A and B are shown apart, each in its own frame.
Chain A
Amino acid sequence: GAGVSQSPRYKVAKRGQDVALRCDPISGHVSLFWYQQALGQGPEFLTYFQNEAQLDKSGLPSDRFFAERPEGSVSTLKIQRTQQEDSAVYLCASSLGVRGGTNYGYTFGSGTRLTVV
């Protein structure tokens, strides 16, 4: 597609419920990132994929968070047993990757706003 598409745009979950957030990156983009953005804060890194390989998951806050990209394109971020502190905007970004030491530009989706009540 023309940009990074995320769905749903808004999700309200009851505490304890599992949620799944979807990211459709730009076709051909090798790298895919998930970020968590709390209200009034800058995005914070969660995890990074290069194709289908999850190369870095150091930002995932707990084992309740799980991300996958099985075919190297669409990615899903799953949060199990949601808690109120999980309320945030979850941003997905994709990039052509790194070549010759140069980081190519990132394109962000509009995010999914998760509210846990």
Chain B
Amino acid sequence: KNQVEQSPQSLIILEGKNCTLQCNYTVSPFSNLRWYKQDTGRGPVSLTIMTFSENTKSNGRYTATLDADTKQSSLHITASQLSDSASYICVVSPIIQGAQKLVFGQGTRLTINP
């Protein structure tokens, strides 16, 4: 079972609409949870970073939430644009002595149609 699971696997919405992507994780304890955007053929780019004590973090039209009790996070995208078409990856950084591994979800493939 993956330690970080995302849903949906893929999503198609019209330009201008809002959407919410989900992330459930079992990694515990963890130091932070990140959301990355990965355009096709590019490396992941960080959108938000939240520690376990934070509930929400915004970056422009992107808002991430974190519920450490239920081990769930979401990424809400407002007023979507064509350039938002990408994979969105939830990443958890576990607290492991002397290590800095990131545990990646499989990503949600988002397509914005005009």
Contacts and interface: CB of A to CB of B under 8 A. Distances in A.
Interface string A95-117: 10110011101101111010000
A62 interface: no
A44 B100 contact: no
Interface string A79-98: 00000000000010101011
B111 to A, nearest CB: 14
Contacts of A98: 100
Given A93-B43, A110-B41, 17 more contacts: A4-B43, A35-B104, A40-B106, A42-B105, A45-B102, A48-B100, A48-B101, A91-B43, A95-B100, A101-B31, A103-B32, A103-B93, A103-B100, A105-B46, A108-B44, A109-B43, A111-B43
Contacts of B89: 42-43
Contacts of A106: 46, 102
Contacts, number: 58
Interface of B: 4, 31-32, 41-46, 49, 89, 91, 93, 98-107, 109
Contacts of B107: 41-42
A18 interface: no
Interface in A48-71: 48, 55-56
Contacts of B93: 103
A63 B45 CA distance: 30
Give the interface SS of chain A, mostly helix, strand, loop or mixed. strand
Contacts of B103: 45
A4 B43 CA distance: 10
8 contacts: A31-B100, A35-B104, A40-B109, A42-B106, A45-B101, A98-B100, A106-B46, A111-B41
Given A48-B99, A55-B98, A98-B100, A108 B105 contact: no
A48 B42 CA distance: 21
Nearest to B31: A103
Contacts of B104: 35, 42-44
B15 to A, nearest CB: 24
